[in-house]
Amino acid sequence: MLSSTLIVGLVLGGTYALLALGLTIQYGVARIMNLAYGELVIAGAFFTMLMVTQAGLNPLVALILALPLGYGFSWLLYTVVLHPLARRSKSQGQLEVDSILVTFGLLFLMQGLYQVNFGGNFQGYQWLQNPVNILGTKIAGGRVIGLVFAVLIGALLYLAMIKTRWGVNMRAVASRPQFAALVGIDMRKEARMAFATGGALAAAGGAILSMYQTFTAVDGTFLTMKALVIVIMGGVGNLIGALLSGIIIGLVEAGVSVAIDPGLTLAATYAIFLVVLLWRPRGLFST
């Protein structure tokens, strides 16, 4: 009972962590709160489903394809919609309000488009349903592979952020936005790249999600909210914080749904969120 809850929680937390990584990069570097983030995740899930059911591809191939598509779409979104706002706004507060409202608009727009094209039913496809035995707990094979890929992509991104020039620039913008320009970093380019990278992670997260669970056209909102809670728990822009918090939230959800009631998972997430905000508003792992 306990070990199965732990494993379910870890698998859930792995995907959440990947989603939160993308959002924390977008918010930490580009300083845009993208409330339509979950809709991009769902876009990745729909794309994978179509590739599997219509084109007969393997979901893993679709995952590889989803990465550049998510990158390109978010790049375009930043350039066309969000950058003009960033240029127009005089203060950070104004930009925050504007970007919240615009991304709310995008959220509804994308959700509406999904509903018109796919309807409101549960979507999904069958893939590797046969169970794998891990420490006495039976888990669908697709779930395990999904987790492996989530960890792989997360680890690659982390290495890139720590080891490469690309990552150093981005971390500079995230931690000292007022000084990054002084050392010759093109802030605008970094912001656009960070936003696009976040989008690629969202699409990949959606592709992985679709490998092991069904989804609906309106699931994006709750994915955004969960990712956001995780980002704030971990501290905005903190990659390791986001990873750990994602796993914590996954474990808590699994625990609450087993011990109390599956209907209360979201309430539990928000209770944690509230405690974090009041107790350590800069994140659990801030120093």
Partner 1 sequence: MKFEKKHILFLIGAVLVVAGLAALPLALKDYGDGLLLGLFSYITLASAWALFSGPTKYISLATVAFYGTGAYTVAVLNETLPFAVVLVVALLIGLVISLLVGLATLRLAGVYFVIFSFGLAEMVRQLITWFETRVTGTLGRYVFVDLTTTHLYWMLLGLACLTLFIRWWIGESRLGLAIHAIGDDETVARHAGVNVTLVKLALFAISAAIITLVGAIQSPRYVYIEPSIVFSPTVSFLTLIMALLGGATRTWGPVFGAVPLFFLFEWLSTNLPDHFSIVLGLIFVGIVFIVPNGVLALIEGLFTRKRRGTRT
Binding site for partner 1 (CB under 8 A): 33, 81, 84-85, 93, 96-98, 100-102, 104-113, 115-116, 225, 228-229, 232, 261, 263-264, 266-267, 270-271, 273-274, 277-278, 281
Q: How far is Cα 35 from Cα 256, in angstroms, rounded to an integer?
A: 26
Nearest-approach distance from CB 85 to partner 1, in angstroms? 7
DSSP state of 90: S
Q: Which is nearer to partner 1, 5 or 98 (CB)?
A: 98
Nearest-approach distance from CB 115 to partner 1, in angstroms? 6
Nearest-approach distance from CB 285 to partner 1, in angstroms? 17
Rg of the chain over Cα atoms, rounded to whole angstroms, equals 18
Q: Which is nearer to partner 1, 68 or 119 (CB)?
A: 119
Nearest-approach distance from CB 140 to partner 1, in angstroms? 27
Helical (H) or strand (E) element with 134: strand 131-134
DSSP annotation string for 206-227: HHHHHHHS-B-TTTHHHHHHHH
Q: How far is Cα 142 from Cα 129, in angstroms, rounded to an integer?
A: 6
Q: Which is nearer to partner 1, 117 or 287 (CB)?
A: 117
Q: Which is nearer to partner 1, 50 or 81 (CB)?
A: 81
Task: Record the tokens describing residue 67, joined without a space.
Answer: 């990465």
Q: Which is nearer to partner 1, 180 or 232 (CB)?
A: 232
Nearest-approach distance from CB 161 to partner 1, in angstroms? 23
Q: How far is Cα 284 from Cα 287, in angstroms, rounded to an integer?
A: 9
Q: Which is nearer to partner 1, 74 or 169 (CB)?
A: 74
Nearest-approach distance from CB 111 to partner 1, in angstroms? 5
3-state secondary structure 146-168: HHHHHHHHHHHHHHHHHHCHHHH
Task: Record the tokens describing residue 9, joined without a space.
Answer: 């929680």
Is 238:24 a contact under the CB 8 Å cutoff? yes
Is 207:60 a contact under the CB 8 Å cutoff? no
Q: Which is nearer to partner 1, 139 or 249 (CB)?
A: 249
Q: How far is Cα 190 from Cα 167, in angstroms, rounded to an integer?
A: 10
Coil, strand or helix at 281? coil
Nearest-approach distance from CB 65 to partner 1, in angstroms? 26
DSSP state of 30: S
